[in-house]
Structure 1
Amino acid sequence: MQDVAKRLDKAFQAFYRRVKGGEKPGFPRFKPASQYDSFTYPQGGYKLDGKKLKLSKIGDVRMKLHRPLEGKVKTCTIIQKNGKYYACLSAEVEPKQLPYCADAVGVDLGVRTLAVTSDGEHFKSPAYLRASEKRLKRLQRSVSRKKKGSNRRKKAVHVLARLHEHVANQRKDYNHKVSRGLVNRYGLIAFEDLNVLGMTKNHNLAKSIVDSGWSQLVSFTTYKAESAGRVVKQVDPRNTSQLCSSCGVVVKKLLKDRKHHCLCCGYVADRDENAAFNILKRATA
């Protein structure tokens, strides 16, 4: 009940902040039981006992511990998602900082390639949503054919939700690996400060942008860098693809042009690598 009060307070604080900021207020709405998919033990009422988790008012629950617990456990949140139950234990631990590293890198985010660094490293875009698109369409049609409110429709919705969750987990896993690699190798990591929400209004690129998970990659890299004692900077994205990283002259290009060729100084490079150099220059200026 303490956590329910905290959630309610958080919703109203966000509402007042939006009103004060002149945004669309969005008054907090009542959440029915179907949308309330988690609850939290804020102080006690839970205990780890080998392969079991003891929960107050519920009892012993068998579990799979993903990794050994470190630090002092502060809260336990039970989450129900697509027929599976998860216990999220938040713990207070000392940050493990990595050794000092003076290397810096600029990262250009893209659609064809997820990320290109100023060191010339290319991280491919796996396009997990595109790979599962045919199956998703088939399952969506199956949901549409079922009668609303029927048990068969509920089962079809559950199967569709499981596939969406699988795609999201694939994307999350890949972005975790890329962000961990960047944080381990560089002391300064620079990204563009992109307006991703605005860019998705381009209907030709919206699906590819969402499938790439740019914001997720930046978010994962930022929190990993913070705990490791590294720095992440976001710079103005204006003209990073058009400027020549060698002489600073604007070289106009269309989206289909994948090579940067400066007629002023003769510098030739991959378009994304040139942009990554410009991002790094702005971050270190």
Structure 2
Amino acid sequence: MSEVLWEQNHGFPRFKKRGAMRSFVFPQLSSNPIQNSSVKLPVIGWVKFWQSRAIPDGGIIKQARVVNRASGWYVMLTVAWDVKIPEVMPHGNPLGIDVGLTNFIATSNSLLVKRPRFFIEAERKLKLLQKRVSKKRIGSNNWRKAQKKVALLHEYVANCRSDWYRKISHQICNDVGMVFVEDLNLVGLSRGMLGKHCLDAGWGQFFTILEQTCWKRGVYFQKVDAKKTSQICPNCGVATGKKELSERTHNCSNCGYTTDRDVAAARFSSN
């Protein structure tokens, strides 16, 4: 029987644990499914919801995904919109960005932003809540309540991180026409000795949000090769050699240019 299912591309049946499935999709919706702050879902009917943004003119709602999170239920609407997306071309002032753990970002115009430790600051409270979960009987109401508190804290940390990324992205896009960031091996960094701190920094999510913000603001976004950005002087182009992590200042013996190591790497990326 299993061979027949496998040949028909059905796969093997899996046990559906309670609480494992946190979302489901309605692939088709009726015409005009949103009216008076309510969305009409098949089988379920009209459901009231808070609409975060308006549906664009000419947009057709194709499907809806209902997601269950710790803070409540959410509906994600997929809209088909016949519009030509303009491609942003290089223009204006260039800005290079170097990311790190001491300074979250260092820009080519000498802006240094300290790294906020969202998860590290919440880790002590998270450890306490997880300890309370371990002492509850699995499946009981108190166990579910304790689990929900852990999930709410995780969601709060994620929301704080995302909100900060969007604010700093808009600040970066002010008075610039091009933004260049390093194309880092984020998977390799997350598996290193400082993996927890790299994951807490969330550079991948920051780059994604920054790219979206640049597109909305009409700023050109490009990833550049991250190799030897801190080993070449951005002022004269002479190789200064490999630096230790404790060496935070860039000193060029050829032209005498001196600046912060991360700022020098950011300026080299924008050249």
5 Å matches for 1:222-241? 222-226=211-215, 229-241=218-230
1:52-99, CA deviations, whole angstroms, 9 ceiling, x for partnerless residues? 222221122222122222241332211111251111122244447889
- Aligned-partner SS, 1:176: helix
Please tell me whether the aligned partners of residues 98 and 184 of structure 1 are also in contact (alpha carbons under 8 angstroms).
no
Q: How far did residue 34 of structure 1 move?
A: 2.8
Matched, 1:69 2:58: no
Q: Which residue of 2 aligns with 1:150?
A: 140
- Aligned-partner SS, 1:105: strand
1:182-219, CA deviations, whole angstroms, 9 ceiling, x for partnerless residues? 3454332111111111112222x212211111001111
Matched, 1:51 2:37: yes
Matched, 1:113 2:103: yes
**Which residue of 228, 233, 255 maps to 1:265?**
255
- Aligned-partner SS, 2:40: strand
- Aligned-partner SS, 2:167: helix
- Aligned-partner SS, 1:35: coil
The TM-score with structure 2 as length reference comes to 0.83
Larger CA Rg, structure 1 vs 2: 2
Give the structure with the higher percent helix: 1
Q: Gaps (5+ residues) in structure 2?
A: 1-8
Identity %: 31
Please tell me whether the aligned partners of residues 90 and 178 of structure 2 are also in contact (alpha carbons under 8 angstroms).
no
Matched, 1:89 2:74: no
- One-letter amino acid of the structure 2 residue matched with residue 69 of structure 1: I
Q: How far did residue 154 of structure 1 move?
A: 2.0
Q: Which residue of 1 aligns with 2:188?
A: 198
Q: How far did residue 100 of structure 1 move?
A: 8.1
What is the aligned length? 255
Q: Gaps (5+ residues) in structure 1?
A: 1-11, 13-26
Please tell me whether the aligned partners of residues 107 and 117 of structure 1 are also in contact (alpha carbons under 8 angstroms).
yes
Find the aligned partners of 1:133 and 1:242 in 2 and give their Cα distance: 36
- Aligned-partner SS, 2:33: strand
Find the aligned partners of 1:181 and 1:29 in 2 and give their Cα distance: 50
Find the aligned partners of 1:184 and 1:65 in 2 and give their Cα distance: 29
Find the aligned partners of 1:171 and 1:29 in 2 and give their Cα distance: 38
- One-letter amino acid of the structure 2 residue matched with residue 43 of structure 1: Q
1:151-172, CA deviations, whole angstroms, 9 ceiling, x for partnerless residues? 3222211110110011011111
**Which residue of 219, 235, 243 maps to 2:232?**
243
**Which residue of 9, 21, 24 maps to 1:39?**
24
1:205-238, CA deviations, whole angstroms, 9 ceiling, x for partnerless residues? 2122111110011112223444555432222211
Task: Report the aligned-residue RMSD.
Answer: 2.6
The TM-score with structure 1 as length reference comes to 0.79
Give the 3 Å change call, closer, same or farther, for CA 124–172 of structure 1 in structure 2.
same
Find the aligned partners of 1:63 and 1:226 in 2 and give their Cα distance: 29
Please tell me whether the aligned partners of residues 29 and 41 of structure 2 are also in contact (alpha carbons under 8 angstroms).
no
- One-letter amino acid of the structure 1 residue matched with residue 222 of structure 2: K
